A and B are shown apart, each in its own frame.
Chain A
Amino acid sequence: MTDDLLELQDVVVRYGGIEAVRGISFNVADGELVTLIGGNGAGKTTTLTTISGIKRPSGGTISFAGERIDNLPAHEVVELGVCQAPEGRRIFPRMSVRENLVMGAFARGSAKQADVDRVFDLFPVLKERQKQAGGTLSGGEQQMLAIGRALMSEPKLLMLDEPSMGLAPKFVEKIFELLGDIHSQGTTILLVEQNAHLALQIADRGYVLESGEIVLEDDAKKLLGNDQVRKAYLGES
């Protein structure tokens, strides 16, 4: 198990008395695209924010590249190379697109033009709008900006929290296509999604989360064919 980039073991997260995550364990190997799927309140976002160090686990261990990160402050986790595009995009609405991207490189020190250009290559529409305030972009463009911003930190592990949320189907497909590209260029990705169908199509492996526990784990293709998953998440009977 030495090639595991990220490993969670029996992680428990509480909000006051409520256990949102009840002892989950999973791992992401270097170069993989792993997806966590599950419905509302399954604990997906909580898991991500806990890995980021924004929320503290009340039990279990999280390690990244063999080192424990569950007791590190959030900014040190980012410096290690774990970056997330948070739920609801959360771009900086009154900074320009370019400033948003530059903020993404905060943990590394300063951003170079080349880094910004790389993101612009990936998302040409951002280049067109680079001087525009982030808040004036459409939802899909904001999601691209959020992903681009996370990429600016040159993460070893990119975590995405529901990139399809609130987007038109056309945009969702576009985003997922780009995620596939980013992954094939060598970035390890942990993708949290409600849209199980799309997520499983681009992922290598998947975990199904329900009420804070992992109920299923398998290759993405097998999960796509799994009856339980089809019933619960793909809307088929």
Chain B
Amino acid sequence: MSERQRELQRSYRERLQRMRAQRSSARGKLREVIAKDAEPITSRWRALRAWLDEHSKVSYPGLSILLIAVIAFLPLLGEVVDLPSELDQATSGSVLARVMLFSLFALGLNVVVGFAGLLDLGYVAFWLMGSYTAAILTGAQDYSEKIQQGASFTEVQEPVWQMWMWLILAIALGVAIVTGIALGSPTLRLRGDYLAIVTLGFGEILRITANNLTSVTGGPRGVRSIPHPEIRVGDAELVWGTLLDTKYYWLLLALVILWIIAIRKLDDSRIGRAWVAIREDEVAAAAMGVPVVRMKLAAFAIGACTAGVGGVIYAEQVNFINPPTFSLIQSILILSMVVLGGMGSIAGSIVGAAALVIIPDALLREQDEYRFFLFGFVLVVIMIFRPQGLVPSKRRKAELVGGGQAEILDPAHARSS
């Protein structure tokens, strides 16, 4: 090899080394930037929690009670301080009651979509079952029909609340579960897109049936005068009524709290683990002895009964229901809440519901025509920049952002928050 060749080789090697060094340092910098970008929220939050753990004498149960108290106080805020009109609207009883109603629905759908990973586009069907169960069992449907046939208001008695009607809540819960299982057993063997389409069809079928089955549901004219609930114990009474949305807010808040406790327990249980396994790899889950279809049915039934209970309260609050109330867009709306908040995240469901009720109802009242446009736009933006949702569950975040965060997957921290 000549001197010249050796020279060339050496200079080439040097250049290559320089390039490699440059590239790796650039990559290092890029990694740092990405890490910085990804870290702060979680690390700051973790630091805050650690700080709280160390410095506060309040325990977590104490904190949650405080939080619940603050949330329960929200509708009264406007009476204590002067709020700008938008905020006043946002904290009004009617908007907050809607937030809680949809929180309940989102919590239920989150079990199906977020925990078990089943895409259900016909969730409104179970809401419909709950509402119509209430409408028929309270006698409101019967009354509406008589009025429709020309009976005078003095002839027939408007339905009133009776004590046993609390049973309706339990019955509606049962009806929704049965509906969920009836839909689930044949369809849960399907996967992904197919399940989504079948559930979508199911939601539409129930709505159209409610529209056409006039003798049972009253058909397109709907059902009116569904009575408000009451609790009477001796002389003490607690009455819900037409303009008492704040009371409905508290009732729904109580249900939401109950549901959060129950769902957290479930998520931490054997069933919760089975759901994660099914979501990760259905075949492997079956090979490990997870009764896959039964576990999916359980998720479906839990989601369904949540919507059934919500449906009863909804019917009682608004007094009037008709088939168009339960259109496909409601299913999509609830699904958007779950996705926006963060699939598999309990806190996320509530944040999602709050955002998608308060923003259009309170903040965008004037821009009503643009509502769905803005809605779609926000969803697209969120999916691009924060696919894991606003308040992601830790596990789901790992799934969507890419696995490998071992520390996140440490079982001690891995429950969805």
Contacts and interface: CB of A to CB of B under 8 A. Distances in A.
A140 interface: no
A95 B399 CA distance: 10
B37 interface: no
A14 B359 CA distance: 55
A75 B289 CA distance: 4
A83 B281 CA distance: 16
Interface in A91-113: 91-96, 98-99, 102-104, 106-107, 109-110
A106 B287 contact: no
B305 interface: no
A45 to B, nearest CB: 11
B205 interface: no
Interface in A34-86: 52, 54, 73-75, 77-79, 83-84, 86
A78 B403 contact: no
Contact of B398 (A79, A86, A133): A133
Interface string A101-139: 011101101100000000000000000000111011000
A77 B405 CA distance: 34
Interface stretch (B63-71, B259-267, B270-278, B332-340): B270-278
B280 A78 contact: no
B398 A94 contact: yes
Given A90-B281, A103-B277, A106-B270, A133 B287 contact: no
A95 B288 CA distance: 14
A136 B289 contact: no
A156 interface: no
B287 A91 contact: no
B290 to A, nearest CB: 6
Interface stretch (B155-163, B214-222, B406-414): B406-414
B286 A149 contact: no
B411 A96 contact: yes
Interface residues of A, number: 34
A94 B288 contact: no
Given A83-B289, A107-B289, A153-B288, A94 B283 contact: no
Contact of B277 (A77, A106, A109, A110): A106
Contact of A132 (B285, B294, B406, B414): B406
A184 B41 CA distance: 52
Interface residues of B, number: 30
B292 to A, nearest CB: 8
B280 A93 contact: yes
A93 B410 contact: no
Contacts of A132: 404, 406, 409
B284 A86 contact: yes
A86 B290 contact: no
A91 B399 CA distance: 14
B228 interface: no
Given A102-B273, A106-B273, A54 B409 contact: no
B291 interface: yes
B98 interface: no
A74 B287 CA distance: 7
Nearest to A86: B287
B343 to A, nearest CB: 14
A153 B409 contact: no
A153 B284 contact: no
Contacts of B296: none
B224 interface: no
A176 B394 CA distance: 37
B207 interface: no
B291 A94 contact: no
15 contacts: A74-B292, A75-B291, A75-B292, A78-B287, A78-B289, A83-B288, A93-B281, A94-B398, A99-B409, A106-B289, A109-B270, A135-B403, A136-B404, A149-B288, A153-B289
Interface of A: 52, 54, 73-75, 77-79, 83-84, 86, 90-96, 98-99, 102-104, 106-107, 109-110, 131-133, 135-136, 149, 153
Given A103-B288, A106-B277, A110-B270, 8 more contacts: A52-B287, A77-B289, A94-B399, A94-B403, A95-B276, A103-B290, A131-B409, A133-B409
Which 5 pairs across A and B sit closest by C-beta, in order of nearness? A107-B289, A78-B289, A90-B284, A75-B291, A92-B280
